[in-house]
Amino acid sequence: MPHSKRPAAPSKHDAAQRTAESRIACDIFCAVIDNFGDIGVCWRLARQLAHEHGWEVRVFVDDLHAFQRLCPALNLERSTQTVEDVVIEHWHEPEHAGETLQIADVVIEAFACELPGVYVAAMAQRERRPVWLNLEYLSAEDWVADFHLRPSPHPRYPLLKHFFFPGLGPGTGGVLKERDLDAARTAFERSADARAAWWQSATGGPPPGPQATVISLFAYENPAIDALLEQWCDSPTPIVLLVPQGRISGALARFFGVQSFDAHACAERGSLRAHGLAFTEQRGYDTLLWACDLNFVRGEDSFVRAQWAARPFVWQIYPQGDDAHLPKLDAALEHYARTLAEAPRNALARFWHAWNGNGTHAAASGPSSAPGPVDTPLPAPPQAPQPAPDWHEFAQYLPVFKTRAQAWANELAQAGDLAGNLAEFAKTQLK
CA Rg value for the chain: 22
Is 38 a residue of the active site? yes
Is 300 a residue of the active site? yes
pLDDT > 60? residue 363:
no
Who has greater pLDDT, 22 or 46? 46
SS (H, E, C) 174-213: CECCCCCHHHHHHHHHHCHHHHHHHHHHHHCCCCCCCCCE
User: Is the Cβ–Cβ distance between 60 and 89 less than 8 Å?
Assistant: yes
Average pLDDT of the chain is 88
User: Is the Cβ–Cβ distance between 231 and 391 less than 8 Å?
Assistant: yes
Alpha-carbon distance of 140 to 130, in angstroms, equals: 29
**Residue 146, C-beta contacts closer than 8 angstroms, at least 6 positions apart:** none
pLDDT for the residue numbered 370: 31
Q: Sign (positive/negative) of CA torsion 231, 337, 334, 167? A: positive
Who has greater pLDDT, 379 or 212? 212
Angstrom distances, CA of residue 101 to CA of 10, 23, 78, 130: 22, 18, 18, 14
pLDDT for the residue numbered 14: 44
pLDDT for the residue numbered 318: 84
What would the mean pLDDT of 252-259 be, rounded to a whole number?
96
- pTM given for the model: 0.87
pLDDT > 80? residue 24:
yes
Full set of structural domains in the chain with CATH? 25-175+416-430 (3.40.50), 181-413 (3.40.50)
What totals of helices (H) and strands (E) does the chain contain, helices first? Answer: 15, 14
pLDDT for the residue numbered 386: 65
pLDDT > 90? residue 266:
yes
Alpha-carbon distance of 40 to 138, in angstroms, equals: 13
User: Is the Cβ–Cβ distance between 202 and 277 less than 8 Å?
Assistant: yes
Catalytic residue among 105, 109, 300, 334: 300
pLDDT > 70? residue 366:
no
What would the mean pLDDT of 338-347 be, rounded to a whole number?
97
pLDDT > 70? residue 12:
no
pLDDT > 70? residue 282:
yes
User: Is the Cβ–Cβ distance between 357 and 381 less than 8 Å?
Assistant: yes
Give me the phi and psi of 168, to 5 degrees please.
Answer: -105, 0
pLDDT digit string, tens, across residues 294-329? 999 998 999 999 999 999 999 999 887 777 789 999
What would the mean pLDDT of 212-227 be, rounded to a whole number?
96
Catalytic residue among 27, 38, 56, 334: 38
Alpha-carbon distance of 111 to 351, in angstroms, equals: 29
The separation between the first and the last C-alpha atoms of the chain, rounded to the nearest angstrom, is 21
- Where would I find the beta strands (DSSP E) of 286-393? 294-298, 313-316
User: Is the Cβ–Cβ distance between 336 and 305 less than 8 Å?
Assistant: no
- Of 374, 69, 75, whose CA–CA distance to 244 is shortest? 69
Using a pLDDT cut of 90, give the percent of the chain over it. Answer: 77
**Residue 210, C-beta contacts closer than 8 angstroms, at least 6 positions apart:** none
pLDDT for the residue numbered 383: 46
pLDDT > 90? residue 153:
yes
Alpha-carbon distance of 46 to 25, in angstroms, equals: 11
DSSP letter assigned to residue 417: B
What would the mean pLDDT of 207-228 be, rounded to a whole number?
96
User: Is the Cβ–Cβ distance between 140 and 332 less than 8 Å?
Assistant: yes
Alpha helices in 78-224 (DSSP H): 117-125, 143-147, 181-190, 192-203
User: Is the Cβ–Cβ distance between 154 and 130 less than 8 Å?
Assistant: no
